[in-house]
Amino acid sequence: MATLPKAPHLLRALSQNRKIAQIAGRSELTEAQRWFVRERSWINDVHLQLCRIPAATFFERQRADWFRLQLENLGWTAHIDRAGNVLATFGETEGPRTLVVSAHLDTVFAPNRPEEVYFAPDGHIIGPGTSDNGAGLSALLALCRVLGSHPGLHPLASSLLIAANVGEEGEGNLSGIRYLCQHSPQLSAVRAFIVLDGPSTEHVTAQALASWRYEVTFTGAGGHSWNDHGTPNPVHVLSDAIASFVRAADAFVSAGDRAQCSYNFSVLEGGLSINSIPSNARAKLDIRSEDAALLAELSGMLASAVERSLEHGNRSAKSSRLAAKIKDLGSRPGGKLPETSPLLQAIQLVDAHLHVRSRLQCASTDANVPLSMGLHAISIGAGGHGGGSHTREEWYQPDGREFGLRRILLLLAVLHDEFSQAETSVE
């Protein structure tokens, strides 16, 4: 049978629950909730518009320009920083911004033409980037409009730094959020980061999944498949290195109680014609784990596999020899939000009030960077439903979006109250 918490803890929990209910019941928040429902068509239209603007990683500028203009039209002061991030603040004051709300601009795939992103008859938005991260970006714009158009929410709006950042996907290596965290003059006042990524309200990412990425390349002389037979083939040797690494990694991870990890080879390239020995071959590897030491072990296994395969390939060579190179493509840092974090407590109280059965998870998002710096950050979904992420068949269903927006706004209001009271008590 479950044991009730001790009386002081129970009283504190009841007090916190009452406080959340009081904040949620404020007229400006209930009106905002009705606004989300009333302006559903506008939010859906904005979602469609932004997803039709191509924004593949490293090529986000067109979407960034459009996003900046939307924010300015909604009454926010917006600019694009040197990294390409769109940053916006509300109000004339130059005071500190205690909360960062962000969503990444870039997508894995981009539409070749606007018509590739469309509303299906059943109400789904179909096309690349519609869920990841069309959901987060449209939520940002909806929040900015409701915050700017309701005077009772202006103090909350004035405490926010809005960021539509670049470089979250793939080899972008979190470049946008890195730049923001390392170079923003307002960072010293920021108390928490709320990253909006995808639609799901079932997960709260409070632990950053670390990852390291590599490119493995073998190069040689190449030649004719018959006349130059015996010249070492980079594709053959690369394939051997991949198989060797996977065998070693599988055995290592399955032996003993290892932390969860993954390793994935992709983007295999090499050769120009079927009757030619390639002059080069390359593959990219992504390894992820909750344990940084395990990443180091796997990286060492990669180096050993490449060295052994290179030696084996050159041993039987009749003429020229192969060379190998492992290039570091970047890393995503790990980190974890403390259980005592006011941000973690706030989202859990909000979810309890809204009857959201969310669970904490470890994932790789823009929250990795602030978490690795010891800052308070979470990544949450923006509401609705989605699927097919990182494919051209991606989709988003807006049903339930209003609930996700209500959850985000309530979280921001709770945090704003908490931080404002803390500052007042210090003074």
**Domains in the chain, start-ordered, CATH in brackets?**
8-208+334-426 (3.40.630.10), 210-332 (3.30.70.360)
Could you tell me which residue, 378 or 170, shows the higher pLDDT? 378
What pLDDT is recorded for position 72? Answer: 98
Instruction: Please provide residue 96's backbone torsions phi and psi, each rounded to the nearest 5 degrees.
Output: -70, 145
Residues of the chain above pLDDT 90, percent: 84
How far lies 146's CA from each of 30, 34, 163, 253, in Å? 12, 10, 17, 49
Q: Which residue has the higher pLDDT, 148 or 424?
A: 148
User: Binning pLDDT at 50, 70 and 90, where does residue 6 land?
Assistant: very low
Looking at the predicted structure, is the pLDDT value of residue 152 above 60?
yes
Per-residue pLDDT tens for 58-111? 999 999 999 999 999 999 999 999 999 999 999 876 667 899 999 999 999 999
Residues 6+ positions from 238 with CB-CB distance below 8 Å: 216, 218, 268, 270, 281, 282, 283, 309
Q: How far apart are CA 205 and CA 344, in angstroms?
A: 10
* pLDDT number for residue 422: 67
pLDDT of residue 63: 98
Q: What is the mean pLDDT of residues 43-66?
A: 98
pLDDT in tens, 253-291: 887 666 688 999 999 999 999 999 999 999 999 999 988
pLDDT on residue 14 = 61
| 349 pLDDT more than 60 | yes
- Residues 110-132 have a mean pLDDT of 97
> What percent of the chain lies above the pLDDT cut of 70?
94
What span, in angstroms and rounded, lies between the C-alpha atoms of 288 and 299? 11
pLDDT tens track for 271-281: 999 999 999 99
Residue 9 has pLDDT above 80, yes or no: no
238, pLDDT greater than 50: yes
Q: Report the pLDDT averaged over residues 381-391.
A: 96
Arithmetic mean of pLDDT over the chain: 92
Angle between helices 292-315 and 234-254 (to 10 degrees): 140
Look at residue 186 and tell me whether its pLDDT is greater than 90. no
Question: At 260, which amino acid appears?
Answer: Q
**For the residues 114-120, what does the mean pLDDT come to?**
97
pTM > 0.95: yes or no = no
For residues 60 and 232, give the distance between their C-alpha atoms in angstroms, rounded to a whole number.
Answer: 41
CA torsion sign for 152, 158, 164, 167 is negative
Query: Residue 92's pLDDT is what?
Result: 77
Answer whether residue 4 shows pLDDT above 50.
no
Query: What is the pLDDT averaged over residues 201-208?
Result: 96
The predicted pLDDT at position 33 comes to: 96
- Given a cut of 50, is residue 127 above it in pLDDT? yes
Residues 71 and 67: their CA atoms lie apart, in Å, by 6
Structure tokens at 206: 């409070």
Nearest alpha-carbon partner for 204 in 360, 355, 353: 360
pLDDT classification of 382: cutoffs 50, 70, 90: very high
In this predicted structure, the answer to whether residue 178 has a pLDDT above a threshold of 90 is yes
Q: What is residue 3's predicted lDDT score, i.e. its pLDDT?
A: 36
pLDDT at 427 over 60: no
pLDDT of residue 10: 44
Distance, in Å, from the CA atom of 194 to the CA atom of 176, rounded to the nearest integer, reads 15
**Amino acid at position 398, single letter:** P
Mean pLDDT of all residues in 308-327: 92
Number of H helices, E strands in the chain: 12, 19
Neighbouring CB atoms inside 10 A of 223's CB total: 18
Average pLDDT over residues 349-364: 95
Q: Token pair of 159, please?
A: 């405490």
Buried-exposed string 330-365: b where 16+ CB fall within 10 A, e elsewhere: ebbbbbebeeebbbbebbbbbbebbebebebebbbb
